[in-house]
A and B are shown apart, each in its own frame.
Chain A
């Protein structure tokens, strides 16, 4: 019985997402209105990710290329992890006020550390011999960075982008606190939507995060140079892969 009731609530929530309902005040919630919330959710997330990538990837590539600033690149992601996303949004609201720009800025700050750290680690783990060979062939430093180090670092860079994107999608849920009506509107201003609307928003946000993870995971596999893919096809694959992840994850 309770299982059925439990399934029922989810069924209602799914129905809410696709069809919506009219509140007692006569406003439409769910359905097409949910689509608008989703578009806003994706918009704020994408803008924040584009800005974060534009800042963090070149900086990470450059620091990795000159092999300097490991303290900055590594400790930034540790500090970033310790600052709660809610606190970050709240700081922006209290000090800069609400609005799309401020929320985007907060999300950019949240997204930078994993991308920067992974870009840096990705470049520094390119074999010295590879870089020396490129230099011996007469490539300029800029060409080495863009033609040798960047492609070899791409899988890790995409790993960082994936981590940040999922985190940004999750955090955009609390953006209505700062005046941007994302899917979190149904969670934070629950009186307008009811319990079903809130559950519907939770399902939508979860689905959005999983789809982002899967899409970027596929992109990560697609951009992995064939050389690395061949290398990782060896029996020692699991060990090198997990060590690599473990290294980026170590505080």
Chain B
């Protein structure tokens, strides 16, 4: 315990790379400018943080979805549980992620685990609320029809209610994913790297800020589009209705 505390004390934010401004047009770089030459020469240094960023986001959203989905299914049967679950996840949602990273440090130490726990906690409310809303909005007639066909409660859930709730569920996933991409830029405070570490490493240098920040925005847009495409693929009937 003492050793880990000392290690944490002597290595504050040590994973952040030091400024390295070799390559590109020296005048532009010294000027903190936006230098295409420097970006072209140094783009490869953003690849590892980007990969780490994607890992943090995908792991957090996947775990967050699994937990929210299980909670939503339980709450679907026992409706009294919805209010307390929303309250607890609401508090987790309110806590600033940067604060949670440090609140978790004494428990989970520095690294990806701390970041993922905090990001999962943040995604729960968004996903849970959308799954619950989706299940609530299933037309009563559809349920009645399913029951009339002799479906059991479980069959009704998996064959009627969940498919009809898919658009809302996927909407929740999209919000959770874009939000998590943004919050994961702060994960370097927990020692988990990601694009935020690059931004922080040289915050006055326009080229660096634009590339690292731009990659984060781009990542959010790409993941958002990917989930939207997946949603179109697994809910063909929504397109038929719209057409």
Query: Which positions in A face B, CB cutoff 8 Å?
Result: 2, 5-6, 9-10, 78, 81-88, 90-91, 93-95, 166, 169-170, 173-174, 177, 184, 187, 190-191, 194-195, 198-199, 201-203, 205-206, 209-210, 213, 238-239, 242-243, 245-246, 249-251
Contacts and interface: CB of A to CB of B under 8 A. Distances in A.
Nearest to B90: A213
B69 interface: no
Interface of B: 1, 5, 8-9, 12-13, 32, 82, 91, 94-103, 105-107, 126, 129-130, 132-134, 136-137, 168, 171-172, 174-175, 178-179, 181-183, 185-186, 189, 196, 199-200, 203-206, 208-210, 212-213, 216-217, 220-221, 224
Contacts of B13: 190
Contacts of A238: 82, 136
Contact of A94 (B126, B133, B203): B203
B213 A87 contact: yes
Given A84-B213, A86-B199, A246-B133, A187 B98 contact: yes
A173 B209 contact: no
Contacts of A249: 126, 129-130, 171-172, 175
Given A202-B101, A250-B175, A251-B175, 7 more contacts: A78-B178, A82-B178, A85-B182, A201-B102, A203-B99, A243-B133, A249-B172
Given A81-B182, A194-B9, A93 B1 contact: no
A234 to B, nearest CB: 15
Given A84-B196, A86-B196, A246-B168, A173 B99 contact: yes
A188 B189 CA distance: 9
Contact of A84 (B105, B137, B206, B216): B216
A81 B206 CA distance: 22
A6 B9 contact: no
A83 B217 contact: yes
Interface of chain A, main secondary structure = helix
A230 to B, nearest CB: 20
A121 B220 CA distance: 24
A173 B186 CA distance: 11
A239 B98 CA distance: 33
B78 to A, nearest CB: 14
A65 B239 CA distance: 31
B179 to A, nearest CB: 6
Nearest to B102: A202
A134 to B, nearest CB: 30
Contacts of A198: 102
B12 A191 contact: yes
B226 to A, nearest CB: 13
A242 B133 contact: yes
B95 A206 contact: yes
A243 B183 CA distance: 26
List the 6 shortest-distance A-B pairs measured between CB atoms, nearest first: A170-B96, A87-B213, A202-B102, A82-B220, A246-B133, A84-B182
A95 B31 CA distance: 12
19 contacts: A82-B217, A82-B224, A84-B185, A84-B196, A84-B213, A86-B186, A88-B213, A90-B199, A94-B204, A94-B209, A173-B98, A187-B189, A195-B5, A198-B102, A202-B99, A238-B82, A246-B129, A246-B168, A251-B171
B47 to A, nearest CB: 18
A106 B172 CA distance: 27
Contact of A209 (B9, B96, B206): B96
A43 to B, nearest CB: 18
A216 to B, nearest CB: 11
